Structure 1
Amino acid sequence: MADSLFNEIYNPDVLSCLANLSNDEVFTPPEVANAMLDMLPQELFSNPDTTFLDPACKSGVFLREIAKRLISGLEVQIPDLQKRIDHIFHKQLFGIAITELTSLLSRRSVYCSKYPNTEYSVSRFPDVEGNIRYKRIKHTWQDGKCIYCGASQKEYDRDSLLESHAYQFIHSGDKERVFDMKFDVIISNPPYQLNDGGNGKSAKPIYQHFVNRAKLLKPKYITMIIPSRWFSGGKGLDDFRKEMLSDRRIEKLVDYENFKDVFPGVDLAGGACYFLWKRDYNGMCEVTNFDKSKPLTSNRYLDENEIFIRQNLAVKIVKKIQKQNKYYLNKKVSSRKPFGIPTNYPPKENGIPCWFIQRIGKKYADKKDIIDNNQLLNKWKLLVPKAPIAGQTDFTKPVGFYYDGNIRLAAPGECCTESWIVAGAFDTREETLNFKSYLFTKVVRFLLLQTVVSQDVTKKNFCFVPDLRKYNITFTDEYLIDLWGISKDEWNYIDSRICNIGGDDNG
């Protein structure tokens, strides 16, 4: 009875189970791999000459699912099953593993044997690798960084028994190509980041190197699943964001704000996306995003705004408000470290009153350490935390940015560390409080949300929030709805995305 129950009712895909195991290497669930394959022209799987490459094999799921489609699609052209399998595995499917362990796992998934030169392989090869290669290589150091991936020499120039994370696909020049051939399709879920040797758990993105390298090979199609943080740029991603948003060859983009909707059990702020890049395409992009698991699709240019707006429903609202305004708060909000004082600055016994992280509160800074190039010190200031939504990674849920408990009203003569940014500086306390009421409206916080793909908020995230220039009244959502002609349906959508304000007023 137990055997029958297990075989007939509970028969999980081992790669689905594996996809839930670890945050270190994010394995792709088979259903996600198939959703990516569905974007490709399906006639590719009926062509015995189509070639596929996964340059970052982990579980082998992409090659395995492609093999299934080819075995079905080539049945008429190659009727003999064994000949068909041999042709597919020897002539059409290729992979580069990211570690020795994943090379064994991938071969086991694809060839049914981690050593394809044995009798247990569904298709025999003359060597132990088959067409899923792995070679341990070294970083190429220059001035303490790898010239290919930017890895820190301090972190990764290590013992040969430890993993170097020098991924072969992005550490090889044209003369060192793993496979001396052209590929029609490059498909992958590349590694996402490397420790960069900074404070704490500081890491730098690496997935952009896989995308850029794939483009250099000029395949007909590229589809990869990567974190969505590139939408707004940031550490190591500014040039990549600019190039991707302006690339008219990206035919489709599917975006999930909640990373767990794609990779159950894995949590990463900003969500994930996968795309279809088509070499011979030049046009608008079909953007699909998921709202409460329902796909919403529209066709648009990805670079129509400086920062990509994820939600299709939000695009109309942002455009409506943009048409009515000329000035925006990204020009008013301060840069990080507004007074030149770092987060780890030790409080002084006396000096200039200074706001530190929330648990420390207001202490003192030495006057000689303060930089006031923008003449903010002698103004009334609204201080907002640079990480107002720390701990929240799922932006599909109602999001709260600013409330009375996490902002500070700084009087003239007071400064702050880089734990805060100055959202606005004014001559009077009344203006500052009016500006605070504006920032606390759901409409404004909704406009801010459209630029957020991580827990940090900087001045660039205010690029869709109008600067009204005069703050001589207490602002409400009702006032802004009337001012900008926001419809009832638009308001209902805004209201569903932003939580109510809570906390105690310290102003």
Structure 2
Amino acid sequence: MIEQASFALRGRNPDVLTCIANLSNDEVFTPPEFANRMLDTLAEAWAADNGGASIWADNSVRFLDPFTKSGVFLREIAKRLIAGLETEIPDLQTRVDHILTQQVFGIGITRLTSLLARRSLYCSKHATGEHSVATAFANDDGNIWFERTEHSWDGSKCQFCGAPRAIFDREPELENHAYAFIHTNDIKARLGELFGADMQFDVIIGNPPYQMTGGAGGTSDSSIYHLFVEQAAKLEPRFVSMVIPSRWMAGGRGMDGFRQSFLGGGHLRELSDFPASSEVFPGVEIKAGVCYFLWDSAHQGNCNVTTFRGGEALGPVSRKLDEYDIFVRDGRAISILHKVLEREELPINSILSRDTTFGLASNFDGYSETEKSGHIPLFYIRRMKRGIGYVPREAISKNVHLIDRWKLLVPEAYNGGDGLPHQILGKPLIAPAPSACTQSYLVFDVATPDEAASIQSYYMTRFFRFLVSQRKITQHALNSTYAWVPMQTWDRTWTDEVLYEKYRISDEERAYIESQVRSMSVDDGE
């Protein structure tokens, strides 16, 4: 029995949890090394608040992973507790049984992952199995619960997660991805049903599912990770720590309320940001990267923010998180923003169109490839290729007044990868009057060719694109993404040198801007 229970004390190479493939980008397995980094952050905070005491030496602390997949968090917590409680509970089997029955709990997100998590924690898919390291359970599930949960349909969508009924109203033999933790209006009562009415968790930790495919009712995806964060806080734990996509910081459909409460609540104690998701999840691309946080119910004040890029850490830097309506990821940008925004100039997005300027979607194909009488040029981007077609003037039903004005067209989307320095935005295009464009472009409204050339020169400066980058967290740059770029006069050619002087940008700040944003010219490709 002691040999069985010592699973957590023996080194294994390789660790099987470093070898399994991810199910999808929505349900990404957490590498053991990264889970331990999060646990280190938790342990440091606990020690700082408890006179240096170790959280792993406290036999009363309860941990919950409410969306366990591989079971890595539960396993690594158990390993640390087995070592930390050795003095207090010398007998190894007694110690293991106490930890697994009284301190470590999980909720599976699918039947498959619940079995995997039990195998990781108990060394058996059944907690009462022959090879289980636990001897005190009376049921096969142990403290890793899973039962199929049904969506609560409100018409075509689930009222809790927004899942489309057409996709996820499935037969019992198919996974429907209705996660138990967020499909309830009373999470405390729900946890009482699962683990006991007197259950209070001190730490909630893990890596939640990120989105529901088609959850917005169409081809797009609806984020759900924030629902897990909000639900965890309702359980009133001491700490919450999760790894989630970083796109909440400045964007995301329906994220405004979450972002405001998350940044403004004062409970974020640590925030570690990884702009390139591959540094956390090798081989997985998550637009805008990922982050993990430590939410502390007893904390009020600034947050220690650390940014990791290319294996290097910037920080930690003590930051006030709710200074702006979004979170500025890199603290080095704050001084530049202060200098720009203190002038209170009109933002340039006041002359920038909003989505689908002329009412023609990106996939619009009702154009002619040759010029015809009565037709106007239509600029488009399809399959990442730019082109010009021709449509009847009568085909335009939205913003008709812009047809006969000169315009600067700017791509609504540009990726370009995670490397630095980054181009940030796609190459602009001066469009003559008359003309129109599809949804692939946004439109700067100007009066003359000279004004169009002037605003184009401004757009191509590093300064302009740096300010955009502070609000551009995914490949899309919408009207609001340009809100921090100040208006200029369109009677000259703008350069970075002129703008640096106007806004009193220091040599150090210039070097920082140029390390982040690469040069652009009219001859550049995309």
Query: Structure 1, unaligned stretches of length 5 or more?
Result: 1-7
Q: Could you tell me which amino acid in structure 1 is paired with residue 462 of structure 2?
A: K
1:212 aligns to what SS in structure 2?
helix
**Is residue 2:388 matched to residue 1:362?**
yes
Q: Secondary structure at the match of 2:81?
A: helix
Aligned 8 A contact 2:162 2:216 in 1: no
1:109 aligned residue (100, 120, 127): 120
Contact kept, 8 Å, 1:258 with 1:393, in 2: the verdict is no
Counterpart code for 1:409: I
Equivalent residues of 2:204, 2:237 under 8 A apart = yes
- The answer to whether structure 1 residue 128 and structure 2 residue 148 are counterparts is no
Q: How does 1:132-211 map to 2 (within 5 A)?
A: 132-174=144-186, 175-177=189-191, 178-180=194-196, 181-196=199-214, 202-211=220-229
Match of 1:401 in 2: 424
One-letter identity of the residue aligned with 2:434: G
**Displaced runs of 4+ in structure 1, greater than 6 A?**
197-200
Pair 1:452-2:472 in alignment: yes
Matched-pair identity in %: 44
Instruction: Say whether residues 1:443 and 2:463 are aligned partners.
Output: yes
3-state DSSP of counterpart to 2:19:
helix
* 1:334 corresponding residue in structure 2: 353
TM-score norm. by structure 1 comes to: 0.92
Following TM superposition, by how much is the alpha carbon of 1:402 offset from its aligned partner in structure 2, in angstroms? 4.0
Change (3 A) 1:376 1:234: farther
Could you say which residue in structure 2 is the equivalent of 1:3? none
Residue 36 to residue 197, structure 1, CA distance change in 2 (3 Å): closer
Match of 1:322 among 341, 344, 348: 341
2:112 and 2:105 mapped to 1: Cα distance? 17
Aligned Cα RMSD in Å? 2.3
What per-residue deviation string (whole Å, max 9, x for no partner) do you get for residues 404-432 of structure 1?
xx43211122111111101x211111111
Q: Following the alignment from structure 1 to structure 2, what is the Cα–Cα distance between the partners of residues 129 and 171?
A: 21
Secondary structure at the counterpart of residue 489 of structure 1: helix
Residue of structure 2 aligned with 1:464, choices 477, 484, 494 = 484
* CA deviation vs aligned residue, 1:302-339 (integer Å, no higher than 9, x gap): 12112211012222222222223422223332111112
Contact 1:267 1:393 in 2 (8 A): no
Which of residues 260, 263, 269 is equivalent to 1:242?
Answer: 260
* Aligned residue among 62, 79, 87 for 1:51: 62
Q: Do the aligned residues in 2 keep the contact of 1:20 with 1:263 (CA within 8 Å)?
A: no
Find the counterpart in structure 2 of residue 308 from structure 1: 327
Shift of 1:345: 2.5
In structure 2, the partner of 1:36 is 38
Whether the aligned pair in 2 keeps the contact of 1:194 and 1:204 (CA below 8 Å) is yes
CA distance in 1, matches of 2:451, 2:521: 22
- What SS does the aligned partner of 1:319 have? helix
Aligned length in residues: 492
Which string of whole-angstrom CA distances, capped at 9 and with x for unpartnered residues, describes residues 115-139 of structure 1?
1102311112211100001111111
Mark the runs of 5 or more structure 2 residues left unpaired by the alignment.
1-9, 48-53
SS, match of residue 195 in structure 2 = coil
CA gap of 1:288–1:95, structure 2 versus 1, over 3 A, is same
Q: 2: distance between equivalents of 1:213 and 1:202?
A: 24
CA contact (8 A) 2:461 2:519 kept: no
Aligned-partner residue type, residue 55 of structure 1: P
2:6 is matched with none
- Do structure 1's residue 420 and structure 2's residue 431 form an aligned pair? no
Cα pair distance change 1:199/1:172, threshold 3 Å: closer
2: CA distance between counterparts of 1:234 and 1:332? Answer: 24
Give 1:135's aligned amino acid.
E
